[in-house]
Chain A
């Protein structure tokens, strides 16, 4: 019971620490020798990429907060102060601004990988649910962060999104007033959004810790979607996957840097270079690109409450996905029909994104309705039914056999 942890660390200082607080042993177990399927492809980089992005966002965010003023009269100018007068301020700000987009790019790919290889299926349901919670937290954080520069898009984005809650009967308008701390988006709103934008990333770190803890209980899925049958099917996480992740991180940082240094405002909106004006709404208000698909779902139905419910539903449906999928196999490699329908779902998501950038008129209404229909039908109808009807391709006997073409040696 009581007593020191039996540490195998040889370095005497580390050993002394490890006996009393076995962090070295823990790191060694979870990131050193942790058995990881040997057949990951580069899609398995994206969890690490998301982690790197989060770290980058938190660090740059802390330094931005040192110069930012969460005050409706000063916020816009304080961002310009950061861009113009603070040493390396423009660099830190552009890294943070584009980091938000990078975060969503890698997270969307990470989620798509989970969908394609069936990583949400038993026994990884809770791991997946924690991932959906992470996505929701990310969205809340990104939305509130976008309000802080207090440009026209910040202001009107905040107005439109908070007004979503007014769709709920009876309580709706009280919720909105509560969110605003007033009768319109104003100083109190900005101030609390800043406080929450600073807080939520650390909540995110906590949920990510749980996400990884859950991962390390059930172990990683892999492109074949079959469980490792023994040590021959796995590799220690270090050095094999630390180095493989490092390759991905270098390439990813190049992409991020390309945006920061050569097209820092490519993903932004010109209207946000105009200070917030509560008396004038810009001609086209659109959310940031990563929210466009949900925005299109919102507008695809003419009923306010239904639109809001569909929009939230499009995310919440992911929570029950592990129980909607009735297929015996995980990986789409062995699901000849579902594979293409999943690609169709991706297409519907992209079409929704394009629709979200356009005024809801003419062909865009029709397209966004079709895409919304498929988005939900895919999860609620196709996934449960096809899982029963589809005949999967034969699964390989083991990971090693699939990778090397040799049958298992110790059988």
Chain B
């Protein structure tokens, strides 16, 4: 006879939780610009138990290294982090040594460079934002460490953007040096179409279609923005189950204690 009241409380709480959700849902239909519909994709990391597919993330790292990293930095990542997508420490060492990064100063105090170690940050393509703009027509290629979390639509948006290049519709006025993209706000993006079929050769032999590369690099970037995801979801399941049991036992104690009141 007490249970219905819990449900009442739960419904009241749920009502308040639903508020931001409805706010977001409503936001998607904001009339400010012609709304861009971002198609939903299926991802290995969807849902309560989903975690990034490591093989895909490793291929995505290859795409990042061979394509994106020409312009985009990932300042929050270190080569040592790559063990998180299934590389062994030895593999990480080997990968890192392929990159030349700043290594402090030499004995005379001049800045020096050398092969990266796992402890080093990912190599940045430009020394600073000004240099990045100067090399890119004044546009700043954003850092990709958190890009998946930093965009409305998350992975679906990144994938949509990478596969969203097309010829501009008839009559659409393009500015010089810009590319047409279906997913980009305003449809004019400074980044030229980055991925083309067969552009790189995957180590594991997977055919490199634009779709495959976009999918892989999005998986990699999702991991990069949320490296804790696998641990977090696994821990979450255990914590919720534990608290559920604890709630059950505590409720039983409560029933017993209150038995003599009614």
Contact = CB atoms under 8 A, between A and B. Distances in A.
Q: Say if the two chains contact directly (CB < 8 Å).
A: yes
Interface of A: 38, 41-43, 45, 77, 80, 83-84, 90-91, 94, 105, 108-109, 235, 239-240, 243-244, 246-248, 250-251, 253-255, 257-258, 260-262, 264-267, 270-271, 273-274, 283-284, 289, 292, 350, 353-354, 357-359, 361-362, 403-404
A78 to B, nearest CB: 11
Interface of B is mostly: helix
Contacts of B93: none
A402 to B, nearest CB: 13
Nearest to A252: B13
A254 B251 CA distance: 14
Contacts of A260: 236
Interface stretch (B27-35, B102-110, B173-181, B205-213): B27-35
A235 B261 contact: yes
Contacts of B185: 283
B19 A289 contact: yes
B235 A91 contact: yes
A109 B250 contact: no
A273 B16 contact: no
Nearest to A104: B16
Contact of A350 (B19, B142, B251, B258): B19
B152 A80 contact: no
Nearest to A354: B23
Given A90-B228, A246-B254, A270-B152, A105 B236 contact: no
A284 B254 CA distance: 48
B27 A358 contact: yes
Given A270-B150, A292-B23, A251 B233 contact: no
Nearest to B154: A270
Given A105-B16, A260-B236, A354 B22 contact: yes
Given A260-B236, A273-B225, A292-B23, A247 B150 contact: no
B243 interface: yes
Interface residues of B, number: 54
A250 B26 contact: no
B239 interface: yes
B171 interface: no
Nearest to A259: B17
Given A80-B145, A270-B151, A357-B23, A41 B5 contact: yes
Given A84-B227, A105-B17, A258 B240 contact: yes
B20 A267 contact: yes
Contact of A265 (B12, B76, B149, B236): B149
A271 B150 contact: yes
Given A358-B26, A362-B31, 11 more contacts: A43-B12, A91-B228, A109-B12, A240-B258, A247-B254, A250-B247, A257-B243, A273-B225, A274-B146, A274-B150, A357-B23
Contacts of A362: 31
A264 B146 contact: no
A270 B27 CA distance: 14
Nearest to A108: B16
Contacts of B81: 84
B149 A270 contact: yes
Given A42-B9, A243-B253, A292-B23, A251 B247 contact: yes
25 contacts: A38-B261, A77-B76, A80-B146, A84-B228, A91-B228, A91-B232, A105-B13, A239-B257, A240-B257, A240-B258, A243-B254, A246-B254, A248-B9, A250-B247, A253-B243, A255-B17, A257-B236, A260-B236, A261-B239, A270-B149, A270-B152, A289-B23, A350-B19, A357-B23, A357-B26
Nearest to A257: B239
Interface in B91-123: none
A240 B239 CA distance: 26
- Shortest 3 CB-CB distances between A and B: which pairs? A261-B236, A250-B247, A273-B150
Contacts of B192: none
A353 B23 contact: yes
Nearest to A265: B149
Interface in B15-69: 16-17, 19-20, 22-24, 26-27, 30-32, 48
A84 B10 CA distance: 34
